[in-house]
Amino acid sequence: MSKSELSEKIILEAKNLEAWFGDFQAVKGIDVSYHERTINAIIGPSGCGKSTYLRCLNRIHEEIEGTHVRGQVLLEGQNIYDKKIDVVDVRKRIGMVFQKPNPFPSMSILDNVVIGLRLQGINKRSTLLEVAETCLKKAALWEEVKDKLSSLGTSLSGGQQQRLCIARALAINPPVLLMDEPTSALDPIATAKIEELMNEIKRDYTVIIVTHNMQQAARISDYTSFFVYGKMIEHGLSSDIFTNPKEKQTEDYISGRFG
Amino acid sequence: MFKLNSKTQDSLLFYILRFISLLVIFLLLFIIFILFKSAWPSISQNGIGFIFKTEWNPVEQHFGALAFIFGTLITSFLALLIATPVSIFVALFISEYLPKSASRILSLLVEMVAAIPSIVFGLFGIFYLAPMVRDSFSPFLKTYLGFLPFFQGPSFGIGILTASLILAIMIIPTVTSICRSVFELIPKHQKEAAYALGSTKFEMIKLAVLSPSISGISSAVVLGLGRALGETMAVTMLIGNSPNITKSIFAPAATMASVMANEYTDANNPQHVASLCYLALLLFLITFLSNLFAKSIVKNFSKMG
């Protein structure tokens, strides 16, 4: 997609964001903004803080004992780290898909998809079924599960489980969806399916995806950030980053000279 | 020492291990056999009716087990009713709320309660709990729930309620520590899945911690039940040892274990001894069945999970 077709509206913005595990600073002063309805990849060598950074964007990093965060994350102009903001509301507006597929083991496929709605007090069966169908279709899983919605979520294959988790995240309709290496536990066919569906959901959602797979970042993303040791070395249009990086370190990494 | 070739060494080890394992199983069968043999005079005379007869009068040679079975079941049931929620709350607090260092200390302290000898619980019950039940708990329950038959009648402090409370305290550490290890087995990514959907901590606990733990919690409860059914010393000191079936939980009663502990020394005539052994056999059967039942629950739930 060329630059002119991309939305200019900024939906999410990090300002001097820093994160710690105890005394160890994993994320160092990140400043970046994300445009609406784009796919944004974060690449970098392992241990570079990219997952931790992502986990600061929906405030799930702070659920780990002994961690803390400094700086700001603005969602549609509002700082999600503001004291007045309820963290529960933040997470309803910034969804997340994890590295390992994690459907709830005691729940059916249907219940897994709509649990987010149930948490918000929506229990009307027709509404739930409708949302489940829409989201499972967006997650390209509907055809495979429509006849067994009441079987356990964990009875599906790994790739299907991950798409189920994507449907679950989409069901509460968050404007931003974070994905933490969503395909690293999956085989190439399952990966291809997820990359395909990401192109579809981009019409309605802003996606920020951490990936260790540079080809994946190049294939699917509009923008790419390159992280090393908790710092963002470079951020820009993926077409520029992968063909004509400004920084020497980025060039070395994407040409396979380090990392 | 002469050296065995490796094949002989391995098979020797196998035979030794097998022998010792079989010995343990043999011991179980042997105990059942001895119990059965000692109980036989009573079994042959009273038959299965022993279970349904309430009268127990060694002097007149009337022996029936129902009052003791009732005492055992009602005290264990009440103890579980009190101990289960408490244990789940304590385990949740330890595993989900406390920082690691504090949680280690608290769980150690809770487990220390299990190390207190039964007789000490008995003394605590006699000198502290029984007067408290008589003077505070019973009047309170009578005032607010006195319209129910379970909370009527005089309370002397010694009786079903006091015994159940002590039993509850005794099984809380067992149930808590199993629940805690069940909760700690929940993978972090399950909790994060709940958080990422906008759960509050309470909703996260319901969704990601409690609902997948139902089978684990049930097995904890049944292991607690196993301990409560057989507990003897403290209960014998607190239950009042009167073989009656009453509606009131303030009334004294007797359990299968307590009557055995009380009467085995005075049992002179063979029918009395045999009837006590018959009771022992029944107690064993009840704990055995409750364990079997527990296993089947766990199996059904783990099939689901």
DSSP annotation of B96 reads I
Q: What does DSSP assign to residue B224?
A: H
User: SS3 for A31?
Assistant: strand
Q: What does the pLDDT look like over A45-101, one tens digit per residue? A: 988 899 999 999 999 999 998 999 999 999 999 999 999 999 999 999 999 999 999
Nearest CA in chain A to B99: A65
Flag whether pLDDT at B1 surpasses 60.
no
Predicted pLDDT at B304 = 46
Residues of A with Cβ-Cβ distance to B189 under 8 angstroms: 98, 100, 102
Beta-carbon pairs below 8 A across chains A and B = 69
Cα–Cα distance, B263 to B272 (Å, whole number): 9
Amino acid code (one letter) for B131? P
Q: B181-195 pLDDT, tens per residue?
A: 999 999 999 999 999
Give contacts of A21 with chain B, Cβ < 8 Å: none
SS3 content of chain B, % helix, strand, coil (to 5): 80, 0, 20
Task: Tell me what pLDDT residue B297 has.
Answer: 72
Residue with token string 């309820």 = A86
Question: Residue B305: its pLDDT value, please?
Answer: 42
Chain A stretch 182-211, residues whose beta carbon is closer than 8 A to a beta carbon of chain B: none
Q: Is A92 on the interface with B (CB under 8 A)?
A: yes
Give the Cα separation of A207 and A237 in Å (integer): 14
Torsion of CA A143, A144, A145, A148, to 10 degrees: 110
Q: Which of A63, A103, A168 is facing B192, going by the closest CB pair?
A: A63
User: pLDDT tens digit string along B126-182?
Assistant: 999 999 999 999 999 999 998 998 998 888 899 999 999 999 999 999 999 999 999
Residue among B189, B191, B198 whose CB faces A92 most closely: B198
Mean model confidence pLDDT for chain B = 91
Predicted local distance difference test score (pLDDT) of residue A124: 93
- By Cβ distance, the residue of B193, B212, B214 closest to A98 is B193
Q: Chain A: residue nearest B187 by CA?
A: A102
User: Does the CB of A116 have a partner CB in chain B at under 8 Å?
Assistant: yes
Residue appearing with tokens 């980053």 = A241
The answer to whether the Cα torsion of A166, A172, A175, A180 is positive or negative is negative
Identify which of B198, B200, B212 has the shortest CB distance to residue A106.
B212
Which residues on B lie below 8 Å from A98 (Cβ)?
189, 192-193, 196
Q: Is the dihedral of CA B2, B8, B14, B16 positive or negative?
A: negative
Query: Is A155 touching B (CB cutoff 8 A)?
Result: no
Contacts A107 to B, Cβ<8 Å: 211
Eight-class DSSP state of B3: P
| Band (A4; pLDDT cuts 50, 70, 90) | low
Residues in B lying within 8 Å of A, measured between beta carbons = 99-100, 187, 189-200, 203, 207-208, 211-212, 214, 304-305
A121 shares contact with chain B (CB less than 8 Å): no
Q: Do B100 and A96 touch (CB under 8 A)?
A: no
Q: Do A63 and B189 touch (CB under 8 A)?
A: no
DSSP A2: -
Of A102, A106, A152, the CB nearest to B193: A102
The CATH H-level (homologous superfamily) assignment of domain B51-304 is MetI-like (1.10.3720.10)
Count, residues in chain B:
305
Check if the beta carbon of residue A221 is closer than 8 Å to that of residue A41: yes
Contact: A119, B199; criterion CB under 8 Å: yes
Do the chains contact at B197 and A65, CB–CB below 8 Å?
Answer: no
Which residues of chain A lie closer than 8 angstroms to B212, CB-CB?
104-106
What tokens appear for A160 in the block?
Answer: 């299907």
Tell me B94's DSSP state. Answer: I
Task: State the DSSP string of A66-79.
Answer: TEEEEEEEEETTEE
d(CA B3, CA A101): 54
Contact between B207 and A104 using a beta-carbon 8 Å cutoff:
yes
Alpha-carbon separation of residue B112 from B36, B92, B109, B175, B224 (angstroms): 37, 18, 5, 13, 16
Which residue in A has a C-alpha nearest to residue B193's C-alpha? A102
Distance (Å) of CA B22 to CA B10, B27, B32, B37, B63: 18, 8, 15, 22, 37
Q: Which residues of B touch A96 (CB under 8 A)?
A: 192, 196
In this complex, which of A88, A102, A105 lies closest to B198 when CB atoms are compared? Answer: A88
Q: For residues B291 and A92, what is the distance between their CA atoms, to the nearest angstrom?
A: 44
* Two tokens, residue A238: 């993926």
Q: Decide: A40 and A236 in contact? Cβ < 8 Å.
A: no
Beta carbons of A92 and B207 less than 8 Å apart: no
Contacts of residue B223, Cβ cutoff 8 Å, sequence gap at least 6: B174, B175, B178, B294
Question: In B2-129, which residue ranges form alpha helices assigned H by DSSP?
Answer: 6-46, 66-92, 100-115, 118-124
Q: Which two tokens stand for residue B30?
A: 């042997």
Burial B144-173 (b: 16+ CB within 10 A, else e): eeeeeebbbbebebbbbbbbbbbbbbbbbb
Whether B266 contacts B186, CB under 8 Å: no
Whole-angstrom Cα distance, residue B238 to residue B123?
A: 9
Asked if A95 lies within 8 A of B196 by C-beta distance, the reply is yes
State whether residue B220 is helix, strand or coil.
helix
At B10-52, the pLDDT tens digits run 999 999 999 999 999 999 999 999 999 999 999 999 999 999 9
Q: How many residues does chain A have?
A: 259
Q: Which residues of A touch B185 (CB under 8 A)?
A: none
CA distance B96 to chain A (A): 11
DSSP secondary structure letter of residue A146: T
Please check whether residue A35 touches B, CB under 8 A.
no
Q: Do A172 and B198 touch (CB under 8 A)?
A: yes
pTM of the model: 0.86
Which two structure tokens, joined as six digits, stand for A99? Answer: 């590295």
pLDDT at A258 over 70: no
For residue A65, which residues of chain B lie inside 8 Å, CB to CB? 99-100
As given in the structure block, the two tokens for residue B274 are 């045999």
Condensed to tens digits (0 to 9), the pLDDT of residues A106-147 reads: 899 999 999 999 999 999 999 999 999 999 999 999 999 999
Cα distance from B213 to chain A (closest Cα, Å)?
9
More confident site: B48 or A256? B48
In Å, the largest CA–CA distance within chain B is 81
Nearest chain A residue to B214 by CA distance is A106
- Specify which residues B62 forms β-bridges with: B57
Q: Which residue from B minimizes the CA distance to A108?
A: B304
**Residue B194 with chain A: CB contacts under 8 Å:** 104
Kindly tell me if the per-residue pLDDT of A181 is higher than 90. Answer: yes
